[in-house]
Amino acid sequence: MRASQFHIGTLKEAPSDAEIVSHQLMTRAGMIRKLAGGIYNYMPIGLRVIRKVEAIIREEMNRAGALELLMPVVQPAELWMESGRWEQYGPELLRMKDRHGRDFVLQPTSEEVITDIARNEIHSWRQLPKNFYHIQTKFRDERRPRFGVMRGREFTMKDAYSFDRDEAGAQKSYDAMYDAYMRIFTRMGLTFRAVAADTGSIGGTRSHEFQVIADTGEDLIVYNPATQYAANIELAEAPCLVAQRAAPGRALEKTPTPGATKCEAVAQMLGLPLASHVKSLALAVEPEEPGKPVQIWLLLVRADHELNEIKAGKIPGLDRGYRFATDAEIVEHFGCVPGFIGPVGTAKPVKVVADRTVANLHDFVTGANQADHHYVGVNWGRDLPEPDLVADLRNVVDGDPSPDGSGPLAIQRGIEVGHVFFLGTKYSEALKATYLDETGKPALLQMGCYGIGVTRLLGAAIEQHHDGRGIIWPRALAPFEVVVCPVGWGKSEAVREAATKLYEGLKEAGVDAILDDRDERPGVMFADWELIGVPVRVTIGDRGLKEGQIELQGRRDEAAAKIPVGEALAATLARLAQAN
Amino acid sequence: MRASQFHIGTLKEAPSDAEIVSHQLMTRAGMIRKLAGGIYNYMPIGLRVIRKVEAIIREEMNRAGALELLMPVVQPAELWMESGRWEQYGPELLRMKDRHGRDFVLQPTSEEVITDIARNEIHSWRQLPKNFYHIQTKFRDERRPRFGVMRGREFTMKDAYSFDRDEAGAQKSYDAMYDAYMRIFTRMGLTFRAVAADTGSIGGTRSHEFQVIADTGEDLIVYNPATQYAANIELAEAPCLVAQRAAPGRALEKTPTPGATKCEAVAQMLGLPLASHVKSLALAVEPEEPGKPVQIWLLLVRADHELNEIKAGKIPGLDRGYRFATDAEIVEHFGCVPGFIGPVGTAKPVKVVADRTVANLHDFVTGANQADHHYVGVNWGRDLPEPDLVADLRNVVDGDPSPDGSGPLAIQRGIEVGHVFFLGTKYSEALKATYLDETGKPALLQMGCYGIGVTRLLGAAIEQHHDGRGIIWPRALAPFEVVVCPVGWGKSEAVREAATKLYEGLKEAGVDAILDDRDERPGVMFADWELIGVPVRVTIGDRGLKEGQIELQGRRDEAAAKIPVGEALAATLARLAQAN
């Protein structure tokens, strides 16, 4: 490609709504242009990266035996009613009516349609296993789209769906996808981690996320640096940090803590370590039958820990859905304003759930259910009954012992770019997707589903690979692998010849190269290509040519290396081979 | 690909709503599955053909210097309001609201968005010319979707948009796209014709359609077999068939023609040739200001000709939009029931437009504006005033002299698969898309737009290439180029070895081959692959192998040729090279 024939739309300034670096850099590099909130045009340089991402995904999906098909963007509501998601899915599901008033949705994902295909196409166990995928436009009507392609409304996703005879087969399909994902993200040159994850609204029994490691990631990943253990903090098991509950060492005492509604303030006021304080969180569950009272729960975590709302949502009784209690509900049940509540002596009975660590504490501090007062020296059994339930309620923290028993856990941030789900029969049951087994009897298809956020990957790769000058693409994703920058294109025949020869040589060698024949000043060229993030740059100018030299610089290199003109092609290829 | 790993969904019966052969065969071959009216799943074998179509288009678009980008499926209404098409476009434009109540459309085409991109990205004449294209999902909410992928609602289209400094530049861009389209459809192995066409709702000043020739086509193409002249019948110029008007030869006479409302019946009743009759068509134009009367026009074409409604719509006065007059309007203006009206002695004045040929007739027959009566021996000037306007009003008929002056025209049917438009400044003016010219002054961008119906091409290719057994793919579009059919796969080690060796050899030679390892009977295999339309089939069985032979058969061949086993690969490659 010659730059004069291409469209380079680099910008000096990022748009004011670009909060994160990938959004800023993708816009400044001319990769994307906003059309509406969360809806982007992918400009030629951005689309080149998308096509490389798609090609890698496609190759590895095919290698794993998956079959590509294409399901429509516009899907009839009937199938979504059949699965129940027409009701369950919130306003993120964009619904619309056609000219005849029939209901349709813009697909956010395709479980319904693929299960419909499977129930029509798969008749016999002989046809199994099968894995179908497509790379298609998705739409999720996010309430507040932001972060560029990271949380857009219209985006491209690869979604695959496996069908098997039984759980063992489905596990094999799951494992094959897991392995394919490992190859895909490795080939892309990304630092990533596969982590056990919560299944969320897709459902199913187990899942793994593939997280690109980046300080700016929205997800927290818990991992054991010494082993394979890794999980999303939503799921990562937090152990009990106190092996055995000690006997009470001090008497229960009500202490004034004027204005101290936060544990940190109480700890400071009382001169006690934060880890001896217990945080009390009041939750409310709406009644199952109208007219019955709201149920109030009290969840207890150590003051230096944080409640994990996903874990809380899995507790029997809270799994129907919960919310935080209102101030009025707190006053009614605890006889006290928020900030000073606790499990000792509530005004009305509440369900008490203690985190594993809290359950083994002794002599701890809690709110006293009286404004501006806390209890010190609280002990289970003596000052209050044993908790109704002990459960893992908190987020793992750095240094917690690993659930696999070997060493401490670490935490890092990640960006979810892939997710594999073991679905089981959730959708095949709802849509009655069966096959005839070896005995001729109908059996439900066992399913898995497997997503990769194609356009989101661009943002994730940039969050991981950039510096103050711009993007630093891994070679496999770069819009161009090499840029040839002739200095004085318009003036010097020698420069034009040398640059064109190298460019043609690179093309013949199968390198995705661009020749910057715009006749721009070196500063403009360099700034553009560093912003765009091309891995290797070759500069050819009259001064160097007189000395028989060209300049070669990797995007991460501090300075350019001088190379004899005669070795230009070989040296560029060698430098490129070193680029990730 | 091995068939056992693939999904082959051939069906014995076509769905009852499949009216045309491509719809029937695409469904029976397992290429498509209907999800909703006009919305299809593209199954793996169908998607393989789509990908080949897309690859050819992409290569030739890139070769022509066009730049690929990707514009969203969901587009904000504001841009459509700016161009005026939010109002002009009918219910085929699917409109919807997002969760915040903002208006969006599902794109049927992207003139608005690309013009918005151009006005933001193109600042200077130095950036011109530019041609941007994308291959993207489109949606048109057809009132009555039918004919499978030929008139679907969701479909894939390649649409390109060129931007130039002036008309001459825009013409060059147009010509480059015309040439690229010629290469694209030639490479696809299709018999097609580029024809001058009407610009319709897209607008602009001139256009060409690319029509795949097929008896089942919806379009009529007029062409001169001796020259390059070709046009859609909507546009093709119809000459005057009577060089000079002869002097009246007989007196005007009112003749009873009881019950004969059609010219054919009148001609038979009177024993006069149909070509001496004139058909009278009453049109109505709504008043420009409410309250004013409806305007009635009388259009006259020779009885053996047909009115061309598009040509009528271009006549000054009718170009505001017209409809056929109601019975009441006819009675009011002609003083006579429909079927017997004519230009002589109307009850109220009407605008009379005569087709070129009608204007030179003498002694002709028309309705007498009296029930059950016609005039014979009608002559211009003598019996009625000269027409208000003489114009080309009719469809060309087979044998009409060609407008280029050399020989008679012929007519054939075609399926529109591509369309190039010279847009001029229609959209750049509406959206104020300007660039700074060499003098530093803003000037409007000159535009062209260029579409290819990607998914529609599958249907068109099949309408042109099929027989009683199924599809006959041109090699360039075939889902697989060669199928290797082992007879007795499960039983014979020799068959498995020979078939696998040939299959591997084909793959190494870069052939897109499939090995049918399903262990099906020959009849089942042959029926499947003839239905699917693979260009070359190789059959390998124990009986043949004993004689050292395999069987090779092109999809159009009457019988298989026996080939020595040792020459299997070379012979297959040679046979494939002959396949279109």
Which tokens in the block code for residue B84?
């005026």
Mean pLDDT over B385-396 rounds to 97
Chain CA centroid to CA A212, Å:
8
Per-residue confidence (pLDDT) for residue B199, from 0 to 100:
72
Per-residue confidence (pLDDT) for residue A204, from 0 to 100:
63
3 state SS for B348-378? CCCEEEEEHHHHCCCCEEEECCCCCEEEEEE
Per-residue confidence (pLDDT) for residue B202, from 0 to 100:
60
Coil/strand/helix, residue B84: coil
DSSP string, A211-247: EEE-TT-SEEEEE-TTSS-EEETTTPPPPPS-SSPPP
Which tokens in the block code for residue A525?
């060229």
Per-residue confidence (pLDDT) for residue A403, from 0 to 100:
87
Mean pLDDT over B444-456 rounds to 97
Which A residues in the span 35-64 are in contact with B, Cβ-Cβ below 8 Å?
A: 35-36, 39-44, 46-47, 50
Residue A539's alpha-carbon distances to A522, A532, A561, A565, in angstroms, are 9, 16, 10, 11
Q: Find out whether the peptide bond into A15 is cis, omega within 30 degrees of 0.
A: no
**B501 in A contact zone (CB under 8 Å):** no
Per-residue confidence (pLDDT) for residue B96, from 0 to 100:
96
Name the residue type at position A97: K
Distance of residue B62 Cα from the nearest chain A Cα, in angstroms: 10
Among the partner-chain residues A9, A98, A121, the one whose CB lies closest to the CB of B9 is: A121
pLDDT at position A261 over 70: yes
Per-residue confidence (pLDDT) for residue B405, from 0 to 100:
85
Mean pLDDT over A93-116 rounds to 96
Q: Which of A67, A78, A159 to mutate to test the interface with B (most CBs of B within 10 A)?
A: A67
Beta strand spans in A116-238 (E)? 130-139, 154-164, 192-197, 206-213, 219-223, 230-232
DSSP string, A268-306: HHHT--GGGBEEEEEEEE--SSTTSPPEEEEEEEETTS-
Among the partner-chain residues B6, B99, B104, the one whose CB lies closest to the CB of A91 is: B99
Hey, are the CB atoms on A33 and B68 less than 8 Å from each other? no
Q: Which residue has the tokens 């009457």?
A: B558
Give percent above pLDDT 70 in chain B: 99
Per-residue confidence (pLDDT) for residue A391, from 0 to 100:
97
Mean pLDDT over B333-349 rounds to 95
Which tokens in the block code for residue A279?
């945080």
Please, which pLDDT band fits residue B436 given cuts at 50, 70 and 90? very high
Tell me which chain B residues have a C-beta less than 8 angstroms from the C-beta of A6. 67
pLDDT at position B204 over 80: no
Alpha-carbon distance of A525 to A488, in angstroms, equals 11
Write out pLDDT tens, residues A291-320. 899 999 999 999 999 999 999 999 999 998
Q: Name the residue in chain B with its Cα closest to that of A47.
A: B69
pLDDT at position A202 over 70: no
Hey, are the CB atoms on A69 and B117 less than 8 Å from each other? no
Per-residue confidence (pLDDT) for residue A580, from 0 to 100:
66
DSSP string, B86-155: HHHS-TTS-EEE-TT--EEEE-S--HHHHHHHHHHH--BGGG-SEEEEEEEEEE---SS-BTGGGB-SEE
Write out pLDDT tens, residues A384-413. 999 999 999 999 999 999 988 888 999 999
Mean pLDDT over A56-76 rounds to 98
Residue A403 host element (H or E): none
Mean pLDDT over A536-565 rounds to 96
Per-residue confidence (pLDDT) for residue B327, from 0 to 100:
96
Tell me which chain B residues have a C-beta less than 8 angstroms from the C-beta of A13. none
**B435 in A contact zone (CB under 8 Å):** no
Write out pLDDT tens, residues B473-496. 999 999 999 999 999 999 999 999
Per-residue confidence (pLDDT) for residue A405, from 0 to 100:
85
Please, which pLDDT band fits residue B288 given cuts at 50, 70 and 90? confident
Mean pLDDT over A135-155 rounds to 93
Please, which pLDDT band fits residue B293 given cuts at 50, 70 and 90? very high
Distance of residue A254 Cα from the nearest chain B Cα, in angstroms: 51
Crossing angle (nearest 10°) for helices A454-464 and A44-63: 110
pLDDT at position B153 over 80: yes
Taking the CA atoms of A529, A532, A537 and A538 in sequence, report the sign of the dihedral they define.
negative
Alpha-carbon distance of B133 to B229, in angstroms, equals 29
Q: With contact defined as beta carbons under 8 Å apart, do B269 and B303 qualify?
A: no
Q: With contact defined as beta carbons under 8 Å apart, do B417 and B218 qualify?
A: no
Alpha-carbon distance of B9 to B267, in angstroms, equals 56
Mean pLDDT over B48-58 rounds to 98
**What count of other Cβ atoms lies within 10 Å of the Cβ of residue A144?**
7
Write out pLDDT tens, residues B12-21. 999 898 989 9
CA angle B103–A31–A511, rounded 5-degree value: 145
Distance of residue A575 Cα from the nearest chain B Cα, in angstroms: 28
User: Is the pTM higher than 0.90?
Assistant: yes
Phi and psi, residue B498, nearest 5°: -65, -40
Hey, are the CB atoms on A68 and B76 less than 8 Å from each other? no
pLDDT at position A201 over 70: no
Write out pLDDT tens, residues B79-113. 999 999 999 998 999 999 999 999 999 999 999 99
Which B residues in the span 109-138 are in contact with A, Cβ-Cβ below 8 Å?
A: 113, 116-117, 120-121, 127, 130, 132, 137
Inter-chain contacts counted by CB atoms under 8 A, chains A and B: 138
In sequence order, which residues have a C-beta less than 8 Å from that of residue A198 and are 6 or more positions away?
A207, A232, A234, A235, A310
Hey, are the CB atoms on B130 and A7 less than 8 Å from each other? yes
Tell me which chain A residues have a C-beta less than 8 angstroms from the C-beta of B59. none
Q: Which of B69, B95, B518 to mutate to test the interface with A (most CBs of A within 10 A)?
A: B69
Distance of residue B98 Cα from the nearest chain A Cα, in angstroms: 7
Per-residue confidence (pLDDT) for residue B361, from 0 to 100:
97
How does DSSP classify residue B475? G
Strands B295-302 and B351-355: parallel
Among the partner-chain residues B70, B75, B99, the one whose CB lies closest to the CB of A47 is: B70
CA angle B29–B45–B477, rounded 5-degree value: 95
Per-residue confidence (pLDDT) for residue B99, from 0 to 100:
95
Instruction: Pick from A66-80, A82-96, A401-415 the range whose average pLDDT is largest.
Output: A66-80
pLDDT at position B203 over 90: no
pLDDT at position B8 over 80: yes
Hey, are the CB atoms on A69 and B116 less than 8 Å from each other? no
Mean pLDDT, chain A, integer:
95
Alpha helices by DSSP H, listed for B202-262, are none
Per-residue confidence (pLDDT) for residue B579, from 0 to 100:
82
Q: What is the CA radius of gyration of chain B?
A: 30
Q: Name the residue in chain A with its Cα closest to that of B45.
A: A69
Write out pLDDT tens, residues B457-476. 999 999 999 999 999 999 99
Residue A389's alpha-carbon distances to A334, A359, A385, in angstroms, are 19, 9, 11
Write out pLDDT tens, residues A221-250. 999 999 989 999 999 999 999 999 999 999
Residue A117's alpha-carbon distances to A69, B1, B333, in angstroms, are 11, 22, 60
Tell me which chain A residues have a C-beta less than 8 angstroms from the C-beta of B44. 67-69, 132
Among the partner-chain residues B36, B65, B67, the one whose CB lies closest to the CB of A76 is: B36
Among the partner-chain residues A35, A75, A143, the one whose CB lies closest to the CB of B99 is: A143
**B94 in A contact zone (CB under 8 Å):** yes
Give the closest residue to A5 by CA, choosing from B361, B68, B24, B102: B68
pLDDT at position A200 over 80: no
Hey, are the CB atoms on A7 and B132 less than 8 Å from each other? yes
Alpha-carbon distance of B489 to B467, in angstroms, equals 29
Tell me which chain B residues have a C-beta less than 8 angstroms from the C-beta of A71. 35, 41
Per-residue confidence (pLDDT) for residue A203, from 0 to 100:
60
Q: With contact defined as beta carbons under 8 Å apart, do A534 and A552 qualify?
A: no
Q: Which of B34, B98, B106, B122 to mutate to test the interface with A (most CBs of A within 10 A)?
A: B98
Alpha-carbon distance of B231 to B414, in angstroms, equals 11
Per-residue confidence (pLDDT) for residue B404, from 0 to 100:
86
In sequence order, which residues have a C-beta less than 8 Å from that of residue A443 and are 6 or more positions away?
A165, A434, A435, A436, A437
Please, which pLDDT band fits residue B29 given cuts at 50, 70 and 90? very high
Hey, are the CB atoms on A73 and B127 less than 8 Å from each other? no
Hey, are the CB atoms on A67 and B44 less than 8 Å from each other? yes
Per-residue confidence (pLDDT) for residue B364, from 0 to 100:
97
Q: Name the residue in chain A with its Cα closest to that of B96.
A: A96
Q: Which is more confident, A407 or B129?
A: B129
Tell me which chain B residues have a C-beta less than 8 angstroms from the C-beta of A68. 44, 47
Alpha-carbon distance of A210 to A197, in angstroms, equals 9
Which tokens in the block code for residue A385?
């009954």
Alpha-carbon distance of A382 to A248, in angstroms, equals 8
In sequence order, which residues have a C-beta less than 8 Å from that of residue B157 and are 6 or more positions away?
B109, B135, B136, B138, B451, B452, B453, B454
Among the partner-chain residues A7, A9, A41, the one whose CB lies closest to the CB of B71 is: A41
Hey, are the CB atoms on B132 and A44 less than 8 Å from each other? yes
Tell me which chain B residues have a C-beta less than 8 angstroms from the C-beta of A73. 73, 137, 139, 154
Q: Find out whether the peptide bond into B239 is cis, omega within 30 degrees of 0.
A: no
pLDDT at position A67 over 70: yes
Q: What is the CA radius of gyration of chain A?
A: 29
Tell me which chain B residues have a C-beta less than 8 angstroms from the C-beta of A127. 7
Alpha-carbon distance of B465 to B22, in angstroms, equals 9
Distance of residue B68 Cα from the nearest chain A Cα, in angstroms: 6
